[in-house]
Every structure is written in C-alpha cells, then in structure tokens.
Chains A and B, each alone.
Chain A
Amino acid sequence: AAGVIQSPRHLIKEKRETATLKCYPIPRHDTVYWYQQGPGQDPQFLISFYEKMQSDKGSIPDRFSAQQFSDYHSELNMSSLELGDSALYFCASSEGLAGERETQYFGPGTRLLVL
C-alpha cells in the first residue's frame, strides 16, 4: 500500500539558511499534519491543513510557514534556521472518510541538521 512520502530524507543547513520540506500524502487523503520531534523527545504538533486550508496551528515558530497545494501535497518552509531547529520533522496524513479521519499515518520523516 502507498505510504506518506517525505523529501528530502536528510538535510544539512547552516544557521540563518532556509529549508523546504515536502510531504506527499497517501492517495485520497485530504488532511496533512506536520510534527517536530527533537532528540529524545516526543513529536510536537506544528500545523495542519484540510482541503488546502490551514485547519489548526500548534507551536510553530513565526519563521516557519506551510501550505497545502491543489494536489494535496504540502510544504513546510523554514527560514532563518537556528541550531534548535535540528530535529526530525514528520508529516502525517489522514483520510477524508467518516470514521477514518481521526487516524494519522506518518511518513518516514525528514532529519534536519542545522550547523
């Protein structure tokens, strides 16, 4: 079965640079979530989109922005990168059908290292 695709899988950036993470949800999934997982931490919710509109926002820095496109893929844009942004970034998607919307399936994650 198709899974959530994230690219790139690994990314190394310098401080103050920008980064763009991409997420391709499971086919027919219309909702995308982004999470950040620091080393040894639990994943923290950043932002979510439903049908290309932002549906909820968590602890996402103002330096970060995201959007969902017409084909339902999503991009997380991160500017003025800081050392503390080094983390594993997960994208998750869920299906629009009633009874399935609550379950999120996660991609493999993008490991970002800021030097």
Chain B
Amino acid sequence: AQKVTQAQTEISVVEKEDVTLDCVYETRDTTYYLFWYKQPPSGELVFLIRRNSFDEQNEISGRYSWNFQKSTSSFNFTITASQVVDSAVYFCALSEGSGGSNYKLTFGKGTLLTVNP
C-alpha cells in the first residue's frame, strides 16, 4: 500500500524567511507520481506541481522549488522569501502508475504553514 508522511504538522516563520516542507513516501510501484497541493484558508485545493518517478530533475518556479530524491523516497518543497499569502496547509500526495484511468491520490496529513508579518 502506498503511504505519504509529512512529519511537520505545523511550521511558523517570519516573512522573508525560507522554509522547507518535508515529504517522504512509500510505494512498491516503479512508476508513480508525486504532487504538492496548497489549501489556503478559503478551502480550495490548488495544484502546485507534479513529478514522475522517472524524472528526478529538480524544479524551480519563482519562489518555489522542489527536491525529488528517489534514493531517500523524499519530495521536499521549499519556499524562498516566504510571504504572508503563503500561509496555508500544504499537502504532499502520491498516485501509483496503475495505468488505465486509476490515479487516485493518497495524501499526507498536511503541513500547516503560518507566515507572520
């Protein structure tokens, strides 16, 4: 069975600090997909990034960067120069490459990030 662990339940930082959110996953599949979603206080789930198991290239998008390491089964997310608007619950999620149309997501418990002014 697949599993996603976000060990950090809550993180509090001051604006402009860098912050890294950790995600560790377990799966028996060789093909799988990793995601980060953001859930602001308004409640919607916003897709941030997807990584395929066969693509370990790290990615940077503005103030966001992601570090995918298969050797440690980790997919960490860093926000540089955090802003108050970054305050949200961040979920790491995993779906296995079962093929066909089945890509249900297994979510971690989420990390509540609070950025204080």
The total of Cβ contacts below 8 Å across the A-B interface reads 64
| Contact partners of A44 in chain B: CB under 8 A | 107
**A16: Cβ under 8 A from any B Cβ:** no
Q: Are the CB atoms of A102 and B50 closer together than 8 Å?
A: yes
Among the interface residues B52, B100, B105, which one has the most CB atoms of the partner chain A within 10 A?
B105
**A90: Cβ under 8 A from any B Cβ:** yes
Q: Are the CB atoms of A103 and B101 closer together than 8 Å?
A: no
Q: Are the CB atoms of B101 and A106 closer together than 8 Å?
A: no
The answer for the CA separation of A37 and B101 in the assembled complex, in Å, is 22
Main secondary structure of the interface of B (DSSP, over half): loop
Contact A42/B91 with A90-B45, A103-B35 known, Cβ cut-off 8 Å: yes
Q: Are the CB atoms of B104 and A48 closer together than 8 Å?
A: yes
Report which of B44, B52, B108 forms a contact with A109, defined as CB distance below 8 A: B44
Q: Are the CB atoms of A102 and B95 closer together than 8 Å?
A: yes
**A63: Cβ under 8 A from any B Cβ:** no
B29 to chain A, nearest CB (A): 12
Contact with B along A45-63 (1 / 0, CB 8 A): 1001011000110100000
**Residues of chain B having any CB pair with chain A under 8 Å:** 33, 35, 37, 43-47, 50, 52, 91, 95, 97, 100-110
